[in-house]
Every structure is written in C-alpha cells, then in structure tokens.
Amino acid sequence: MAFLQRQILKRTVKESKAKLNICTSFSTAASASAVATTPPQLPPFDHDPKPYTGKMQYLFDENGRRYLDAFAGIVTVSCGHCHPDVLNAIFEQSKLLQHATTIYLHHAIADFAEALASKMPGNLKVVYFVNSGTEANELAMLMARLYTGNLGMIALRNAYHGGSSGTIGLTALNTWKYPIPQGEIHHVVNPDPYHGSFGSDAARYAQDLQDHIDFGTSGKVAGFIAETIQGVGGAVELAPGYLKLVYDIVRKAGGVCIADEVQTGFGRTGSHYWGFETQGVIPDIVTMAKGIGNGLPLGAVVTTPEIANVMAQKIQFNTFGGNPVCSAGGLAVLRVIDKERRQAHCADVGSHLLGRLRTLQERHDIIGDVRGRGLMVGMELVTDRKEKTPAKAETAVLFEKLRDFLVDALDYSMSKL
C-alpha cells in the first residue's frame, strides 16, 4: 500500500525463528560501520503535526519528530493515516447517523456490502459484517459447522486466526495460546517451502492432510482454514498448488474451505486482489479485516447464498459490525484502493524490495531466506544457512535498532553497503 509497513510479529524474540515480516519497502539495518555516512532527511511534507499523530505514510512522536511508518498497526492502515477521502466519508456519515445495527436496513451498510461483494469471484455474494478478524473467523467456523453438520476443523501449524476462545484453537503458535480447551480442531503440517519437511512439494503436504482425515477423524470434517501467506507466522507463503489440492480433499470429506484474508486481502500481494487467487482457488467462505477499514474496527465474512442460508435458522446479528460510520469508511477505502491503484503500487514497490533484499542475501550469510510477494514480504535471519539456525540474538538487536532510525535512513545506509 502507499505506506511502508514492517510487521515483526513472527513471535516473541524468545520463541522467534528470527523472521522479519516486511509488508512494505523497508530495508534491513546495516552494521555500525556502514552507517558512518549521515543519512539524508525525510523529504518536505506540508503538515504541522500535533504529538502522537499520523498523516498518510508518516507518524509523529511526542516531540513532533517525523517517521516513515514501518508498522501501520499490523497490516491495517491500507490507505495511509488520516486519508482525507476516508476521513470525509466518516465525518459526513457521523453527522447523519452514527449507529444502527444490521437488523435495520440502512443504505450505507447495503452500499458497502454490494461494493465488497463485487470484488469477490464466483458465487461469494453474501456479506456479514463484524468488528475484527477474530470475530470474522469465529463466524466462519460457526457457518462451516452448521452447514456441514460436522464439528472437526483443520488448520495449519504456524497459523494465526485470532485470540478468542474459539479462534485460539485455530491458531497454532503457542505465544498466542492460553491453556483452555480447543474443541474439535486439528493442525496439519505447514506447507512451508523454507522450513517444511517436504520443501515445496505441495502433493506431500496435501497427503498429510488426507492422512489426518483418514486416520484422525470419522472421515468427515466441517472445514479447513488457512492464510495464503501466514502473516504472524513469518510471511510464509504456502507451497505452490497446495490449496488447490487440499480444497479438493476437504470438499470430498464434506467440509468447506475458508480463506483467511485478514492480512493478504485488498491488493496487498500486488499480483492479485485476494491472496487465495495466487493459488488458483475459490473458497467457500472468505474472512477479512484490518485493511478493510484503514484502522476502523471492521471485519467481514463473505460466503455463498447456500451456506448463508443456514444462518437463517436463528437470528444472527452484530451490534456494531457494519454500523453506518464504519460502512461509509469501508466503502471509501475500497474506492481509494481503486482510484490510487494501490494494488499496482504493492506490485511495483514489492518487486523492488524483493530484488534489493535478495541482493543483500547474496552478500550477507545471516539472511537465510527472502520470501513473499507484493508488500507482504519476509526476511529470515540465521546463524547457519545449512542448518537454518535462527539468529535470535541478532534479530533482537535489529528489532531494537529499527526504533532508532528513520526507515528511509536505513534504505540510504543499505545503499552504501
């Protein structure tokens, strides 16, 4: 997106595999000797900031010091801080009506739902609004179980799908898991081309999932959920062709396929609007949040009319999900992404970033892997390339150093290496 964003939520440093998730064009820190040349200042920006504010790609601290934003609230600020088009939509709707639930028809909610559905392939045409990605994944899991009549859910190891009592079960990173019952949820081998047991062999990873269904279930499952690129797990892109194989297996076992697009959606991958499109599949349910609202508390679940029908058994609504203000803001976000060609920007800047990082990888053995696409890119630091030993101490230092420099100063110092 227009901002430059770094996601460093692989895990806590004590558990980290020394991965940096770089969801934008920021550059790795240079050694002290390489930063001897004073980096240039940020370019002029006509804005008089108050402390602790943001404006487009910049953030300002308590002293008004300007930073090029390399975090953006964990892949959330998709249009830039305080984008005028998004703000105007929020302000104008706030003056008319701030709150109405989806029980009552309001044109702002319907307009946003229609625009969002128009971005979806196939028969993904029914939209449910919630407040977050966690809520979206909870609702998707509920839909899967109601529609199929089965309970068992399958997720990937190294996945993150939320922090509620239900989605903690789907999540497979122990940093984020509390010791509570997880229900009928199982995790299969992660198709990680760098660390995975089978490299990039999608068929062998898919066979592991088939084996789980054959030996670990009744033969029937409710659903399978996966991120196309694991965000919190370290910008891990799934082995090519994996989802196509797995979706077929899951559907034959009576389950539905859920794509978690909370981080990969809305053009971030550059090549496609939705991450699942990079694998050539169409899910049965898609969940989304974060970039959908540019910082507004907004999430959504999009599914087919057939699956949505099961929700009519009872009354399903969300008090704040899809309220008129968030809907107006969300619609403005969709329009900004299109008008300002943010997907193309992700492709262009991401391609440049990947090229620069791979050049560094050729010259520095500590960089074990560079991966991803668009502005969802990961760089993994290792002490031994053959063993892929995590460079935990070095990564911890890098995390701290990144706070001390403007992102473009790092880019400048990298060019001096």
- Residue-wise pLDDT tens digits, 83-128: 999 999 999 999 999 998 888 888 999 999 999 999 999 999 999 9
Judging by beta carbons within 10 Å of its beta carbon (0-12, 13-18, 19+), is residue 170 exposed, middle or buried?
buried
For residue 251, name the pLDDT band (cuts at 50, 70, 90): very high
Task: Report the amino acid identity of residue 174.
Answer: N
Averaged over 291-307, what is the pLDDT? 97
Neighbours of 394 (CB within 10 A): 15
Q: What pLDDT score does 37 carry?
A: 53
Three-class secondary structure of residue 245 per DSSP:
helix
Residue predicted with more confidence, 75 or 22: 75
pLDDT average, residue stretch 381-385: 96
59, pLDDT greater than 90: no
Burial of 351 (0-12, 13-18, 19+ CB in 10 A): middle
Residue % of the chain over a pLDDT of 90: 71
Residue 415: per-residue pLDDT: 39
**How far is the C-alpha of 29 from the C-alpha of 413, rounded, in Å?**
8
* Strands 256-260 vs 367-373: parallel, antiparallel or unpaired: unpaired
Q: For residue 246, what are its two tokens?
A: 């797995």
pLDDT of res. 343: 96
Does pLDDT of 30 surpass 60? no
Average pLDDT of the segment spanning 221-235: 96
**What distance in Å separates the CA atoms of residue 172 and residue 160, rounded to the nearest whole number?**
6
pLDDT reported for residue 9: 35
* Residue 57 in this model has a pLDDT that exceeds 90: no
Q: Which of 1-15, 61-75, 223-237 has the lowest mean pLDDT?
A: 1-15
Sheet containing strand 285-288, strands side by side:
126-130, 299-303, 285-288, 256-260, 223-227, 153-156, 185-188
Given this model, what pLDDT does residue 18 score? Answer: 60
Q: Note the pLDDT of residue 405.
A: 60
Q: Is the pLDDT confidence value at 333 over 80?
A: yes
pLDDT for 22 equals: 55
Of 93, 22, 13, nearest to 322 by C-alpha is 93
Residue 262 clears pLDDT 50, i.e. is over it? yes
| DSSP 3-state of 260 | strand
Average pLDDT, the chain: 87
What's the rounded Cα separation, in Å, for the pair 23 and 12?
18
Q: Tell me the per-residue pLDDT of 127-176, one tens digit each, with 9 for 90 and over.
A: 999 999 999 999 999 999 999 999 999 999 999 999 999 999 999 999 99
The residue-averaged pLDDT of 319-329 equals 94
Q: For the segment 263-294, what is each residue's pLDDT rounded down to a tens digit? A: 999 999 999 999 999 999 999 999 999 999 99
The pLDDT score that the predictor gives to residue 16 is: 44
For 158-294, strand residue ranges (E) read 185-188, 223-227, 229-230, 236-237, 256-260, 285-288
Q: How confident is the model at residue 234 (pLDDT cuts 50, 70, 90)?
A: very high
Write phi, then psi, for 326 (nearest 5 degrees).
Answer: -65, -35
- 185: buried, middle or exposed (CB in 10 Å: 19+, 13-18, 0-12)? buried
Local structure of residue 278 (DSSP, 8 states):
G
Element (H, E) at 154: strand 153-156
Q: How far apart are the first and last CA of the chain?
A: 27
31 has a pLDDT exceeding 60: no
- Please name the helix (run of DSSP H) or strand (run of DSSP E) that holds residue 316, with its range, or none: none
Does pLDDT of 19 surpass 70? no
Query: Tokens 């994996």 label which residue?
Result: 242
The predicted model gives 2-23 an average pLDDT of 43
- Say if residue 228's pLDDT is above 80: yes
Q: What's the rounded Cα separation, in Å, for the pair 136 and 288?
A: 7
CA gap 104, 42 in Å, rounded: 48
Residues written for the chain: 417
The encoded tokens of residue 160 equal: 């993150």
Mean pLDDT lowest among 14-18, 46-50, 248-252, 353-357: 14-18
Placement of tokens 């001897």 in the chain: 36
Tokens 């509620």 correspond to 164
Helix (H, G, I), strand (E, B) or coil at 213: helix
Percent of the chain with pLDDT over 70: 86
Within 13 Å, how many C-alpha atoms sit on residue 127's CB side?
22
Compute the average pLDDT of residues 237-253: 98
Question: Is 137 within 8 Å of 308 (Cβ atoms)?
Answer: no
Its sign, for the CA torsion 179, 184, 188, 190, is negative
In one-letter notation, the amino acid at residue 127 is: V
